[in-house]
Structure 1
Amino acid sequence: MTRPVTVVTGGSRGIGAAVCRRLAADGHDVALGYVRDADAAEEVAREVRAAGARCVTVRVDTAEEADVERLFDVAEAELGPVTGLVNNAGVSGPLGRLADTDTDVLRRVVDVNLLGTLLCSRRAARLMTARGSGAIVNISSGAATLGSPGEYVHYAATKAAVDTLTLGLSKELGPDGVRVNAVAPGAVDTDMHAAMGDPERAHRMAPGIPLRRPGQPEEIAAAVAWLMSPDASYTTGAVLRVAGGR
């Protein structure tokens, strides 16, 4: 049988890297999109290849249409027909109140988290509907329903939009044999918190999480892998919360 070929955006670190490793272990070949750290991307690619999968790395800013088109073009040319997409690339900007957030931060968060997801999903939809099958998994956030006041309501708003996109696109593409789902992580122990200005944030949140700990990237990757697998063949339009009960 032909191996699945999955595009993973933001695949060089954190949840994205864990997704790449898990999908490789499950038999996927991977097109790894990254925006900045080529060395980190190549390290993940080496791990993917060590698991017996093929992997290509592509520098891509998902907010740029030409970059997105190139990502999928390279994936198809190097690995074969794209059968899956994991929309993982995302940014939050510094923690803080909306009133104190610069316009350029707001614009970047919307461009990457929402426009980038739309652009990648559009290209995937064009490829997958023509072939009559495929799976898209969007990485949302528990923030979409919590609102994240005082931290990043702008980020939460983009993730709520991703949830709506997941629902609408699942209904639009279902008749074409394409499934669309999302995973909504809670506080996960990655370096994203350091990028927001609070490296210990995930651990500080632990007392307010029913399971009393932050999640690990591999736990999110496991949920993504299930939604991408044949075991989830009757699942579409779902937003699977993986947030320790929060």
Structure 2
Amino acid sequence: MNARTAVVTGGASGIGAATVARFLDDGWTVVAADLNDASGERLLAEHDGAAKDGRLLFARCDVAEEEDIQAAIDAAVGAGGHLDCLVNNAGVGGAFGPVTEISVEDWDYTFAVLSRAVFLGIKHAARVMRGQPDGGSIVNVASIAALAGDAGPQSYSAAKASVLHMSRVFATELGPDRIRVNCVCPGVIATPLNPAASEEFEGSPLAAIQPLPYVGRPEHLAGAIAFLAGPDSTFITGQYLAVDGGVEAAGPRLGSILGTDPRSVGLVGVNRGSTGRKATVHRKVTP
């Protein structure tokens, strides 16, 4: 069988470019679909050998336009004869501001790029994959903003929540065709889309909310996407994987903020509630 073939939307920068690089390292043929021609040219130059060998193609693609999505997928099938994975990664920051001030046009633009594009990608990838004996894998890039009400701008969060739920909805529909649909939810990742991500973790605002003590990089997402794209995840579908340094697991950290976490003042023991038995409390002994 020929090398596995993938389409990565938003593939010319950030998480998309890192995913393209990972796929190429793993021997895949990749179509990087992106709206930015200059970024596409830089990507081809960076992977000159793969481009000359025909393992890397660039397709100019407005992911909100159905014809562009279909053309990118057709390019992958033309290059490899099949489509093993689609990564719906392309994104924008989208509309922001008070809900009373956001324009309908800006809201619709945000959903066109972040939500409709994912639907279009799944639609056209599924048309190809359902005719393949092994189906295929679709990986959608959502965000931890999909999991909470204050982890991103309103329109971005709502659109990413739809991406997460589409992953479940279409995993259910397409499972009988051996098409797996999963989702990754990045946390704070240092990409061009997120210039506020600090290069230095220590002392940054991120340090107050993220358990792992280092900045998230596009390569961290690329590894998770490669796992969900490949053979080691063939019995996983309809799931999301938070690649966030533990931010979701840590939650709102109310104990630290409100001062109700005994660890913050060095106390150890057990609270027995309303059982009528006294709590046991002592100072922490170990450093």
Q: Name 2:74's counterpart in structure 1.
A: 73
CA RMSD of aligned residues (A): 2.1
Contact 1:29 1:79 in 2 (8 A): yes
Q: Which residue does the alignment assign to 1:119?
A: 120
- The alignment partner of 1:12 has SS state of coil
1:207-226 map, 5 Å: 207-226=208-227
Structure-2 residue corresponding to 1:152: 153
Question: 5+ unaligned residues in a row in structure 2: which ranges?
Answer: 248-287
Tell me what 2:12 maps to.
12
- Deviates most, 51-60 or 151-160: 51-60
1:211 offset after TM fit, Å?
Answer: 1.5
**Alignment-derived partner of residue 135 in structure 1:** 137
Deviation at 1:99, TM superposition (A): 3.1
1:59 has 2:81 as partner: no
* Structure showing greater relative contact order (alpha-carbon pairs closer than 8 Å, 6 or more residues apart): 1
Aligned partners of 2:220 and 2:186: how far apart in 1? 9
Structure 1 residue 70: deviation in Å? 1.5
Residue 48 of structure 1, CA deviation: 4.1
* Paired AA for residue 164 in structure 2: D
What residue identity is the alignment partner of 1:110? F
Contact 2:96–2:154 (Cα < 8 Å) also in 1:
no
In structure 1, what is the equivalent of residue 177 of structure 2?
A: 176
Identity of aligned residues (%): 36
Over 3 Å counting, the alpha-carbon distance change for 1:44 and 1:206 in structure 2 is farther
State the alpha-carbon separation in 2 of the partners of residues 205 and 104 from structure 1.
Answer: 32
Distance 1:106 1:213, change over 3 A: farther
* 3-state SS in 2 of match to 1:187: coil
State how far apart, in whole Å, the 1-side matches of 2:80 and 2:42 are.
Answer: 19
Letter aligned with residue 147 of structure 1: G
Which residue number corresponds to residue 109 of structure 1? 110
Task: Tell me the equivalent position of 2:38.
Answer: 39
TM-score by length of 1: 0.90
Shift of 1:50: 3.6
Shift of the 204–95 alpha-carbon distance from structure 1 to 2, 3 Å rule, reads farther
Higher helix share: 1
Provide closer, same or farther for how the CA distance between residues 48 and 6 of structure 1 changes in structure 2, counting only shifts above 3 A: farther
